[in-house]
Amino acid sequence: MIQDNDRSKVIGRRALLLAGGKTALLTMLAGRMYYLQVMQSGRYATLADENRINLRLLPPPRGRILDRNGVPMAVNQENYRVLIVSEETDDLEDTLDSLAEIIPIGEHDYARIVREAKRHRSFVPVTVKENLSWEDVSRIELNSPDLPGVMIDVGQSRSYPLVGLGAHLLGYVSAVSEADLQGSTDPLLELPGFRIGKAGVEKIYDLALRGKGGTSQVEVNSVGRTIRELKRNEGEPGTDLALSIDLNLQQFAAQRLGDESASIVVMDIHSGEVLVMASTPSFDPNAFNRGLLPDEWRDLSTNPRAPLTNKAIAGQYPPGSTFKTMVTLAGLESGIITRDHTVTCGGRMNLGNLTWYCDKAHGTLDLKGAIQYSCDVYFYDVARRVGIDTIAAMAKRFGLGDKLDIDLPGEATGLVPSRAWKKATMGVPWTSGEDFNAGIGQGYLLVTPLQLATMAARIANGGFAVKPHLVRPQLSGSQDEPRETREFASMGISQPSLALLVEAMTAVANQPGGTAYAMRIADPAMAMAGKTGTAQVHHLQTFEHKLEGGKKPDQLPWKMRDHALFIAFAPVVAPTFACAVVVEHGGWGASAAAPIARDVLIEVQKRYPLRSALEPEGCCGTPAPHDHG
């Protein structure tokens, strides 16, 4: 009994100790709860929200691209996709088989769908097919009771309804590349399937067209299934862009270029608005959006006529005789020649033991006649007197040899050589023979059709340094506001010099014997002034060809033929539009390029008659950007 009491005491004492320990531990639990749920509560609440709230980006609709009259050139098309959710169907393959009876599913696609369905969680929809036609959609909808888990989803995809027309201007959109992600903070780029502008206006104005992504806050569970939407913020849709291009004229010009490897630019000589810029052959920008097949790409990239290149801004050609305008102005402005300077052309000119030829012996010509008949000997003489550096300076003032900063990517600079340039790049001094070449726009000289058109515009507008551009300011987005185009500085060319050049260019296309007389516009209200050019492609060939008294261009292989060039402006009575045409390997400028320029300029003037220039007939609402008085 005593022992039992003893033990009872021991166990009582020890039980008390044990209870004390337990109390301490339970208090610790309460303390821990206080730490986690009161002191650290905010931190864990944030972590909990990060767990359950997913921010989803909503891609904004891309801005449309319109022509100057509001005709859409690049739009967003509803892209109907058929998706399948594997958890909603009892047997995925059964359902796919039923679906395949309605829309064809390739073996390859079939395997991909089954594979993806297995890889993703069962509630994740897998794309079966994209770009469904409306009939396919309605047939699927009709059969939906037999197609559990199959659903139609509408996305937006870029579409170019005009296909190849204006493709070089619009460019295209394509999937975001690794390089695009570098240095960009826009989360939209990370969206799977997002497209950004990769060429043309789509690229230059990509930010404005893209808009700002919206966000949707959704609650998700631990495996990522969306439970509900908590908050939604619709972003900003992309801004619509209006180009200065007139689609009717663009289409006319492109058709007129036909199958040639050629380009044409028509611009307003005062505002610099480009009404037409076509380059043939063209390509289908829709193909880039959907993704090119390997052989499609090979065909496009190896085609000798370079369909992917916008030749109007990236094609570089010797200006040929069109450059005589610059030589003329250089001579007149430097005071080295006057309009009365005469040269007698005997069909050739010798320098040392080398000989330079002309098309024929023109006899004695003054300046106007030399331009009208495009006498080479006359300009060998002028060039020799004036010298390359003076000529180059004049050419640069008229926009040659440098980028014009038009709102398109991929513009080429061209090349206007000088003594310093040759010394620096080739290490040998300039020779007087090279003066001769420069005098007729050959040798090192390279220009783009856009530069030629700009040069013509600057001649026609009285010597104002107009610059070409594509997007009309009043409709464009705020970020990429195009340059204000109304006021261009005078280049300080004396008016008599310009007047003489205009007079001579008018004679080219209107007076008998002028190189483009056959291509004249009969209506005096629309008559054009111009200058032909034939750029020799191959030096060896040209010498032979001149020695042999000229082979007909169509007797030579295409690649060996000369480039045909023509610059023009119209109407002579009140110059408004400048135009440049280059037909690669087209042969004579007068016969291959001038007729195209003539036809297009007639069409332009029909559409924009003198009184209400730049306001299309029967259309109102688009005010003329400026008054031509």
Partner 1 sequence: MLTAQDRHFRFSRGEMTLREKLWHVSWSFVLLISLVCAFGFLTLYSAANGSVEPWAARQMMRFAVGLAVMLAVSLVDIRNWMRWSYALYFIALILLIGVQLRGSVGMGAQRWIDLGFIQLQPSEIMKITLILALARYFHGASYQEVGRPIFLLPPLVMVLLPVVLVLKQPDLGTALMLTLAAGAMFFLSGVRVWQFALVIAAGLGGVPLVWKFMHEYQRQRILTFLNPENDPLGAGYHILQSKIALGSGGLFGKGFLQGTQSHLNFLPEKQTDFIFTMLAEEWGMVGGVILVGLYSLILIYGYAMSLKSRNQFGRLTGLGLTTTFFLYVFINIAMVMGLVPVVGVPLPLISYGGTAMLSLLFGFGLVMSAYIHRDVHIGRRGASDDV
Nearest to 449 by CA among 279, 603, 587: 279
Minimum Å gap between C-beta 230 and partner 1 is: 11
Q: How many CA atoms lie within 13 A of 275 on its CB side?
A: 30
> In sequence order, which residues have a C-beta less than 8 Å from that of residue 47 and are 6 or more positions away?
none
Q: Given candidates 18, 525, 547, 574, which one binds partner 1 under the rule CB under 8 A? A: 18
**Residue closer to partner 1 (CB basis): 15 or 499:** 15
Q: How far apart are CA 269 and CA 463, in angstroms?
A: 10
Give the distance from CA 104 to its chain's centroid.
Answer: 36
Q: Is 15 in the site for partner 1 (CB under 8 A)?
A: yes
Q: Is 44 in the site for partner 1 (CB under 8 A)?
A: yes
The interface with partner 1 within residues 578-607 (CB under 8 A) comprises none
Nearest to 173 by CA among 154, 161, 159, 153: 159
Q: Is 220 in the site for partner 1 (CB under 8 A)?
A: yes
Are the beta carbons of 422 and 389 closer than 8 angstroms?
no
* Segment interacting with partner 1, rule: CB under 8 A, options 49-57, 324-332, 337-345, 551-559: 49-57
Q: Is 24 in the site for partner 1 (CB under 8 A)?
A: no
> In sequence order, which residues have a C-beta less than 8 Å from that of residue 154 and are 6 or more positions away?
78, 79, 80, 81
Q: Is 8 in the site for partner 1 (CB under 8 A)?
A: yes
* Segment interacting with partner 1, rule: CB under 8 A, options 30-38, 324-332, 496-504, 605-613: 30-38
Q: What SS3 state is found at 89?
A: coil
**Residue closer to partner 1 (CB basis): 14 or 559:** 14
Let me know if 580 is exposed, middle or buried by CB neighbors in 10 A (0-12, 13-18, 19+).
Answer: buried
Q: Given candidates 10, 230, 420, 574, which one binds partner 1 under the rule CB under 8 A? A: 10
Q: Are strands 126-129 and 72-84 parallel, antiparallel or unpaired?
A: antiparallel
> In sequence order, which residues have a C-beta less than 8 Å from that of residue 272 and are 6 or more positions away?
454, 457, 466, 467, 468, 469, 485, 488
Minimum Å gap between C-beta 216 and partner 1 is: 17
Q: Are strands 563-570 and 529-535 parallel, antiparallel or unpaired?
A: antiparallel
**Residue closer to partner 1 (CB basis): 13 or 298:** 13
Minimum Å gap between C-beta 149 and partner 1 is: 23
Number of residues that bind partner 1 (CB under 8 A): 43
Q: At what angle do helices 324-334 and 376-386 cross, to 10 degrees?
A: 40
Minimum Å gap between C-beta 254 and partner 1 is: 58
**Residue closer to partner 1 (CB basis): 14 or 232:** 14
* Segment interacting with partner 1, rule: CB under 8 A, options 140-148, 221-229, 303-311, 486-494: 221-229
SS3 letters for 563-576? EEEEEEEECCCCCC
* Segment interacting with partner 1, rule: CB under 8 A, options 32-40, 165-173, 433-441, 524-532: 32-40
Q: How far apart are CA 424 and CA 438, in angstroms?
A: 18
The interface with partner 1 within residues 225-264 (CB under 8 A) comprises 227
Q: Given candidates 20, 22, 104, 544, which one binds partner 1 under the rule CB under 8 A? A: 22
> In sequence order, which residues have a C-beta less than 8 Å from that of residue 414 and are 6 or more positions away?
316, 400, 401, 402, 446, 447, 448, 451
Minimum Å gap between C-beta 413 and partner 1 is: 54
Q: How far apart are CA 565 and CA 450, in angstroms?
A: 12
Q: Given candidates 38, 489, 522, 620, which one binds partner 1 under the rule CB under 8 A? A: 38
Residue 83 pairs in a beta bridge with: 127, 151
Q: Is 344 in the site for partner 1 (CB under 8 A)?
A: no
Q: How far apart are CA 398 and CA 401, in angstroms?
A: 9
Q: Is 293 in the site for partner 1 (CB under 8 A)?
A: no
Q: Is 36 in the site for partner 1 (CB under 8 A)?
A: yes
Question: What is the identity of the amino acid at 184?
Answer: S
**Residue closer to partner 1 (CB basis): 12 or 193:** 12
Q: Given candidates 20, 40, 229, 354, which one binds partner 1 under the rule CB under 8 A? A: 40
Q: How far apart are CA 488 and CA 492, in angstroms?
A: 12
Minimum Å gap between C-beta 28 and partner 1 is: 7
Minimum Å gap between C-beta 117 and partner 1 is: 22
Q: Is 55 in the site for partner 1 (CB under 8 A)?
A: no
Q: Is 122 in the site for partner 1 (CB under 8 A)?
A: no
Q: Is 223 in the site for partner 1 (CB under 8 A)?
A: yes
Minimum Å gap between C-beta 107 and partner 1 is: 37
In the chain the first and final C-alpha atoms are separated, in Å, by: 132
Catalytic residue among 244, 261, 282, 321: 321
The tokens for 171 are: 């460019």
Active site residue 184: no
Q: Is 28 in the site for partner 1 (CB under 8 A)?
A: yes
Q: How far apart are CA 265 and CA 288, in angstroms?
A: 25
Give the distance from CA 209 to its chain's centroid.
Answer: 14
Minimum Å gap between C-beta 23 and partner 1 is: 8
Q: Is 12 in the site for partner 1 (CB under 8 A)?
A: yes
* Segment interacting with partner 1, rule: CB under 8 A, options 151-159, 213-221, 478-486, 617-625: 213-221
Cite the active site residues.
321
Residues engaged in binding partner 1 (CB under 8 A) = 1, 3-4, 6-8, 10-12, 14-15, 17-19, 22-23, 25-26, 28-30, 32-34, 36-38, 40-41, 43-45, 47-49, 51-52, 219-223, 227
